[in-house]
Amino acid sequence: MGKYFENVQKVNYEGINSTNMYSFKYYNPEEMIAGKSMKEHLRFAMSYWHTLCATGNDPFGSATMNRPWSNEDEMQEARNKVEAAFEFMSKLQIPYFCFHDIDIAPEGKNIEESNKNLDEIASLLKEKMNETGIKLLWGTTNLFSNPRFVHGASTSCNADIFAYSAAKVKKVLEITKELGGENVVFWGGREGYETLLNTNMELELDNFARFLQMAVDYKNKIGFEGQFLIEPKPMEPTKHQYDTDVSTVLAFLRKYNLDKDFKMNIEANHATLAGHTFEHELHVARINGVLGSVDANQGDPNLGWDTDQFPTDIYNATYAMYEILKNGGLHSGGLNFDSKVRRASFETEDLALGYISGMDTFAIGLKVASKLLEDKVLENFVEDRYSSYKSAIGKQIVNNEVGFEELEKYALTLTEIKNESGRQEYLEGIVNNYIMKSNAK
């Protein structure tokens, strides 16, 4: 079954007592949770870039991974990657994939040649999608790797780069539509600045908004019905990126009247780099109606950069799935593994092991979060904590029936104000207990 992952057979659910490392211990695609199968809830996706393009190089060392699909001919390597991608996804029961344009096809000497390369590979992808039933979760454009983007893309001081970037996005919109993609992601890796000494921030933000509006206009023109997503990140590679976190992006979208056209693609490691937790960013997106999709990974608390590790933290997965379930699911979004194996995990099979760990982790998180919501232990506690707003003066505040004068008059009648404990430790213990009970089954 394929030639690139010969040591990996189809990965199936075998339960927690299985000793087969190429099996799911917790992810059972057909198991029903809260009225839907695990497969429907989780909508896992393979990241083309980390899975097929990463070679293990870092700022201090060269590549450690010699992949069997590599080839001196860049277009032949691109063709090989298509075969490898669908062999991998089929064996691991991954229903979706995501890509940047330069992940799937090499750049040419100009836009025309690049587009020709993309068209050829897109045609191969479509054939494989039809054969396997695997779908495209989202496409995006790399507007950060090439030296031409040294000053940014849509926020570049060079208008020629703005135009070049628009041409690349135009092509990816067309390809994503052709492949039936459900979303398009915008990540502004170099949409920001290094120093304000040489930056016209107002013009750059205005141009960023103009660029996104042009994308919306073209989306409507070609009849692409997928969702547009913005992926927040505070810095790296740019010192300060304009899409720092969910709240910053929301303020930007609302200022330029773009909020109806975009939702968020939340990455766990980006959230922690912004000084937030993963669940914080998901929560802010959810309560504002813009939770669109998720990049599933985690960082290392001892390292201050984007390590893109496979998610194995059960607590993070539980809190994430709690927010996603309260959101009614991810709808057209999914859980894309924007994760890479460590540099020392250089065997091709390690890719499968990384995905298996990540998929099992989110399966546990789904089961625990679903049970927490079903039993309403946290929901009931929060409801009771804010019960003072359900009657008397609290209800009047919520109903906008009082102002400062009325509140002063009420406050003058108070002889004692009594607060109640937030019981954080108790609630954390409840989560521990639910996780332990889930794993004991």
Judge residue 217's burial from the number of C-beta atoms within 10 Å of its C-beta, 0-12 exposed, 13-18 middle, 19 or more buried. exposed
Residue 98: strand pairing partners: 47, 138
* C-alpha distances in Å from residue 18, one per residue of 30, 52, 314: 18, 28, 19
Phi, psi of 243 (to 5 degrees): -105, 50
Phi, psi of 98 (to 5 degrees): -135, 150
**To 5 degrees, how large is the angle CA 414–CA 420–CA 425?**
165
CA dihedral 391, 394, 400, 402 (to 10 degrees): 110
* C-alpha distances in Å from residue 374, one per residue of 251, 325, 371, 384: 34, 11, 5, 17
CA distance 401 to 99: 52
Among 364, 355, 366, which Cα is nearest to 439's? 364
H or E stretch at 247: helix 246-255
Catalytic residue (one of 41, 50, 101, 103): 103
Amino acid found at 69? W
Catalytic residue (one of 41, 100, 276, 280): 100
Among 74, 168, 66, which Cα is nearest to 121's? 74
Cβ–Cβ contacts within 10 Å for residue 414, how many?
8
CA distance 296 to 358: 8
Distance of CA 78 to the CA centre of its chain: 24
Q: Which residues of 176-215 are buried (b: 16+ CB within 10 A; e: fewer)?
A: bbbbebbbbbbbbbbbbbeeeeebeeeebbebbbebbeeb
CA distance 331 to 345: 34
Whether residue 103 lies in the annotated active site: yes
Whether residue 100 lies in the annotated active site: yes
> Token pair of 372, please?
């927490």
Among 334, 329, 405, 418, which Cα is nearest to 369's? 329
Cβ–Cβ contacts within 10 Å for residue 394, how many?
13
Residue owning tokens 């989202």: 138
List active site positions.
Answer: 100, 103
